[in-house]
Amino acid sequence: MKRKLVALMALLASLSLAQTTDGHTVTVNIPSVLQLDLNASDYKFDFADNSLTGTETVNVGGTPYTKASWAAYENFLNTATGTQDFAPTSLTGTGGADYGTVTVLTNRAQWTVKISSVSGSLTLGNGRVKVFAEKVSGKGASWTTTPTPITAASPLTLFNASSGGQGKSTYKLYYLFTMDINDDIPLAGINDEQITVNLLLTSP
């Protein structure tokens, strides 16, 4: 009798289980994500460089800027009466491109890329360094309508999406260096100086 009772209870339990599992459970897991990809690690302005002819230019926002080299600097000293912005002699990490590439990949509508701070200082002043962000594809917009000194604001917003920023967005990042004909360069010259620009991506 006892065995029959146990068997009956087991049967009822299985029926009950069958009833409660009569359906599908759909589990959805979508993590929010914010990804930053940056290729250029080093923008170098070498006014002693002898490998360039002084005629090489980089197009930044529709304006050609001469690459820094000895030949270009000599030409500047010969002809300049004021200031001139120069493009880098070379870049590291860009595979030969004259600009860095920043890519933002996210499923968030709002994000911002900015220069949060600058570490180090140049003899001629960090205000001699200008930055320009140019949209290639994707979402958001650049905040730099013209090459802007990196000291113009702190922090300095480069580009952002205030709505609809989801997906992949790619921007070119240019830096220029301003030379002034009135600069009194020390006898030992200015060489081997470096600043670090801190780039910050956030989704507020």
Partner 1 sequence: MKRPLVALTSLLLAQALAQVNLALSPARLELVLPPGGEVTEVVRVRNGLDREEPLSVALRPFTLTPKGDVAESDERNLCPHLTVTPTAFTVPPKGTAEVRLTLQAPPEAEGTLACLVVFTAQPRPTTLGGLRITASPSLGLAVYLTLRGTEKPALRAKVGGEGKALPVLLENPGNVLQRVTGEARVFDGEGKEVARLPIAELPVFPGGYREVALEPEAPLPPGRYRVVLILESAYGRYAAEGVWAVP
Closer CB to partner 1, 121 or 137, in the complex: 121
Which residue in the set 66, 144, 148, 160 belongs to the binding site for partner 1 (CB under 8 A)? Answer: 160
CA separation for the pair 199, 170 (Å, rounded):
15
CA distances in angstroms from 141 to 131, 161, 163, 184, listed in the order given: 15, 6, 11, 39
Q: How many Cα neighbours within 13 Å face the side chain of 14?
A: 5
CA separation for the pair 175, 86 (Å, rounded):
9
Say whether residue 85 binds partner 1 (CB under 8 A). no
Which residue in the set 24, 182, 186, 192 belongs to the binding site for partner 1 (CB under 8 A)? Answer: 192
From the list 4-12, 20-28, 54-62, 86-94, the region that binds partner 1 by CB under 8 A is 86-94
Which residue in the set 35, 53, 63, 83 belongs to the binding site for partner 1 (CB under 8 A)? Answer: 35
**Minimum distance, C-beta of residue 169 to partner 1, in the bound complex (Å):** 14
Q: How many Cα neighbours within 13 Å face the side chain of 33?
A: 10
Sheet holding 141-142, edge to edge: 111-119, 156-161, 141-142
132-169 b/e with 16+ CB inside 10 Å = b?
bbbeeebbbebbbeebbbbeeeeebebbbbeeebbeeb
Say whether residue 46 binds partner 1 (CB under 8 A). yes
- State the Rg of the chain over Cα: 29
Which residue in the set 6, 33, 181, 185 belongs to the binding site for partner 1 (CB under 8 A)? Answer: 33
Closer CB to partner 1, 20 or 50, in the complex: 50
**In what helix (H) or strand (E) does residue 58 lie, and over which residues does it extend?**
strand 57-60
Say whether residue 52 binds partner 1 (CB under 8 A). no
**Minimum distance, C-beta of residue 186 to partner 1, in the bound complex (Å):** 14
Say whether residue 22 binds partner 1 (CB under 8 A). no
CA distances in angstroms from 5 to 1, 12, 13, 16, 19, listed in the order given: 6, 11, 12, 16, 21
Residues 95-124 within binding reach of partner 1 (CB under 8 A): 95, 100, 105-110, 112, 114, 116, 119, 122
Say whether residue 53 binds partner 1 (CB under 8 A). no
Say whether residue 144 binds partner 1 (CB under 8 A). no
Interaction site with partner 1 (CB under 8 A): 31-49, 68, 88-90, 92-95, 100, 105-110, 112, 114, 116, 119, 122, 129, 155, 157, 160, 162-164, 175, 177, 190-204
